[in-house]
């Protein structure tokens, strides 16, 4: 058993939490959240990229056909989509969320099989919680920069 602190660094309710509770109530929801965010950001990145590619390819054809209005519209769409993709940092978020998700999964495998830093540690549950919380807190700093 281990003691968990809440975000104010106080002991949570003065009660002990079992590692299985931690995994079910904290670890698994975090992995799921990062996975979902990574999937959504990947989808948005790919969608914006496809829009940029298609409209960038159509624009010179419309220009050659003297379709001035449509040329302006398609080139504007390319500029807007490119700008939004860069400004919103969707691809960066996708990569960061995926990296964190995979790091959390890897940490669980190391914990389950007692390899890496878990080989010679007296309290592997405490180490696991500490490492998971460290990964999560570092991610919060990366995404908010």
Query: What backbone torsions phi and psi does residue 103 show, to the nearest 5 degrees?
Result: -65, -45
pLDDT tops 80 at residue 139: no
Return the percentage of the chain with pLDDT > 70, whole number: 86
Q: What is the pLDDT of residue 57?
A: 98
Dist CA 12 CA 142 (whole Å)? 26
Q: Please state the rounded mean pLDDT for residues 8-36.
A: 82
Query: pTM of the prediction?
Result: 0.81
Q: Please state the rounded mean pLDDT for residues 39-50.
A: 98
Dist CA 108 CA 145 (whole Å)? 27
């Amino acid at each position: 058993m281990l003691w968990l602190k809440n975000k104010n660094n106080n002991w949570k309710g003065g009660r002990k939490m079992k590692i299985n509770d931690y995994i079910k109530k904290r670890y698994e929801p975090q992995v799921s959240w990062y996975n979902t965010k990574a999937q959504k950001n990947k989808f948005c990145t790919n969608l914006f990229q496809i829009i940029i590619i298609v409209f960038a390819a159509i624009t010179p054809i419309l220009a050659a056909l003297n379709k001035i209005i449509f040329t302006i519209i398609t080139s504007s769409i390319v500029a807007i989509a490119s700008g939004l993709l860069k400004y919103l940092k969707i691809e960066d978020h996708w990569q960061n969320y995926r990296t964190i998700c995979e790091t959390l999964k890897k940490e669980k495998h190391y914990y389950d099989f007692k390899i890496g830093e878990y080989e010679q540690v007296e309290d592997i549950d405490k180490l696991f919680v500490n490492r998971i919380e460290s990964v999560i807190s570092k991610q919060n700093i990366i995404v908010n920069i």
